[in-house]
């Protein structure tokens, strides 16, 4: 059996591997320009965080952290934001409330995600968190051995980041970009 660290490692390593692609290639000779994988226009997003790069339908910011791509006045989201919405509703809503708004038991993630980078977020999800000083002991469970969360951690972060940035309103996003083939492949490998 693969341990908790193993799975978290896969997700984090996947991201790290992805960011290797940001190492600039040697300048192509002007006579043979490389075909543009994504024009600047494709990267323009609603919301304050602009993606710096897209690969296989996954958008990342200038630090290599997963981020959203929202267009059409907030109506159309990238696949990862959509997937994150679904996974949030399956695994987090019971404590953190609809649309990340918080509940009497658990804090608003719309607020908590402000300025929280992916590594910090992943650390909390993998290991959990507990506030023993509160009048009622508050426990954020560790999800490190739960594939339904671990395999979709960048997705959930992307969705919550869009909510936190004010780029995405409440409720289910009306439209989304197609599910990338690479997503399906990674999902199969992770859930095995």
| Crossing angle (nearest 10°) for helices 4-20 and 118-127 | 170
Does 190 contact ligand HEC by CB under 6 A? no
CB nearer to ligand HEC: give 110 or 186. 110
As a whole number of angstroms, the distance between CA 28 and CA 63 comes to 24
How many angstroms separate the CA atoms of 90 and 83, rounded?
11
Among 121, 151, 158, 173, binds ligand HEC (CB under 6 A): 121
Say if residues 78 and 176 touch (Cβ distance below 8 Å). Answer: yes
| Total of residues contacting ligand HEC (CB under 6 A) | 23
Q: How far is the CB of 156 from ligand HEC (least distance, A)?
A: 5
Residue 55 bridge partners (DSSP): 58
For residues 67 to 106, the per-residue mask of contacts with ligand HEC, x marking binding by CB under 6 A and - elsewhere, is ------------------------xx-xxx--------xx
Q: Is 61 exposed, middle or buried (0-12, 13-18, 19+ CB in 10 A)?
A: middle
Site residues for ligand HEC per CB under 6 A: 91-92, 94-96, 105-107, 109, 112, 121, 124-125, 129-131, 138-141, 143, 149, 156
């Amino acid at each position: 059996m693969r341990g908790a660290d193993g799975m978290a490692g896969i997700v984090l390593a996947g991201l790290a591997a992805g960011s290797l692609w940001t190492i600039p290639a040697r300048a192509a000779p002007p006579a043979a320009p490389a075909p543009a994988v994504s024009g600047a226009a494709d990267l323009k997003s609603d919301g304050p965080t602009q993606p710096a790069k897209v690969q296989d339908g996954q958008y990342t910011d200038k630090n290599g952290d997963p981020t959203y791509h929202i267009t059409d006045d907030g109506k159309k989201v990238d696949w990862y934001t959509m997937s994150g919405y679904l996974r949030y509703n399956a695994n987090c809503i019971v404590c953190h409330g609809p649309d990340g708004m918080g509940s009497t038991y658990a804090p608003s993630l719309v607020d908590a995600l402000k300025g929280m980078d992916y590594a910090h977020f992943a650390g909390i999800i993998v290991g959990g968190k507990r506030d023993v000083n509160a009048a009622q002991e508050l426990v954020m469970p560790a999800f490190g051995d739960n594939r339904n969360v671990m395999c979709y951690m960048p997705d959930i972060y992307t969705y919550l980041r869009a909510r936190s940035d004010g780029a995405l309103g409440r409720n289910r996003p009306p439209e989304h970009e197609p599910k990338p083939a690479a997503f399906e492949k990674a999902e199969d490998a992770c859930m095995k």
